[in-house]
Amino acid sequence: MTRAFPRSGGEDIEIGTVASPTVEFGTPGDSSFTYTHQELSYIRYGNLVWFFLSIKFDTNAYTTASGLLQCSVLPFAAATPANFDLGFTASGFFSKLTSAATIMFSPYVLPGSSALRFATVNSAGTRTIVTTAKVPASVTDYVISACGIYRKA
């Protein structure tokens, strides 16, 4: 659902939701996810986009999936570096990550992309992309919550 609010002499405002956001691995293989909650809402003001993502899911007993975990649901592609002066700012929560050293969960989007990707940061400040190694098979009730702002292309 999307509602647009055109403004004379100013930037348009758009408020919307994305139906059924999902997660996937870079190489899906035999992975599948069962969702118990899926929500992505956003507000666009001109070329700035604020978003809130909330997903709860279970993983199957996959054996051939690999690669990074991503959520291809942002309503607009992010701006490229040439006009990326605001960049991307986000915060998030990911339950049951398999690293005790993780102190921060960080969603991010690459310029030109509409896929939300995820990283963790440990106490030494080392950033690690969330992959199948951190999302084991046959686990229930993973929760990802993320919110952020970015400049759309």
Q: Record the tokens describing residue 52, joined without a space.
A: 């809130």
The structure's pTM equals 0.81
Q: Report whether pLDDT(85) > 50.
A: no
pLDDT for res 35? 94
When pLDDT is averaged across residues 1-16 and rounded to a whole number, the result is 71
SS3 30: coil
Which residues constitute the domain of residue 83?
A: 2-151
Number of domains forming the structure of the chain:
1
Q: 88 in helix, strand or coil?
A: strand
Among 21-30, 82-91, 96-105, 135-144, whose mean pLDDT is lowest? 82-91
Question: What's the pLDDT tens digit per position in 13-41?
Answer: 899 998 889 999 999 999 999 999 999 99
Give the residue with greater pLDDT, 91 vs 120: 120
Mean of the pLDDT values across residues 59-67? 92
